[in-house]
Amino acid sequence: MSRGGLFLRLSGVIPPGTVVELALHTPKGPVTAEGEIVWVEPPERRKPGEPIAHGLRFTALGWSTSLSLGLFLVEPE
């Protein structure tokens, strides 16, 4: 996960170009973000029964969402 997007593993394929809304649960509470699927693991690299890798780019982040994500990313674990 970064300020620009995140890596997901999902049970099914979401086609590139699909816009999704996410609820991310952070220690300071939930953060809602919108993102676009920009990459899907090619079929020849997938293993049967395993989740499918996806790349998501955040889109339309409001000021407060961007700040919340930034703070979450820099906080020590």
Q: What predicted TM-score, i.e. pTM, was given to this entire model? A: 0.75
In the numeric block, which tokens belong to residue 64? Answer: 């407060």
The answer for residues whose C-beta is within 8 angstroms of residue 40's C-beta and 6 or more apart is 13, 14, 15, 16, 52, 53, 54, 55
Does the pLDDT at position 77 exceed 60?
Answer: no
Please report, for the chain, the start and end positions of each structural domain, with discontinuous segments joined by +: 5-74
DSSP state of 44: G
The alpha-helical segments, DSSP class H, found in 1-77 are 63-74
For residue 73, pLDDT over 70 is answered with no
pLDDT, tens digit, 9 for 90 and up, residues 7-39:
999 999 999 999 999 888 877 778 788 899 999
pLDDT score at 63: 59
Amino acid, single-letter form, for residue 22? L
Whole-number pLDDT of residue 42: 95
Instruction: Kindly report, residue by residue over 39-58, the tens digit of the pLDDT.
Output: 999 999 999 999 999 999 98
Identify whether the C-beta of residue 38 lies closer than 8 Å to the C-beta of residue 16.
yes
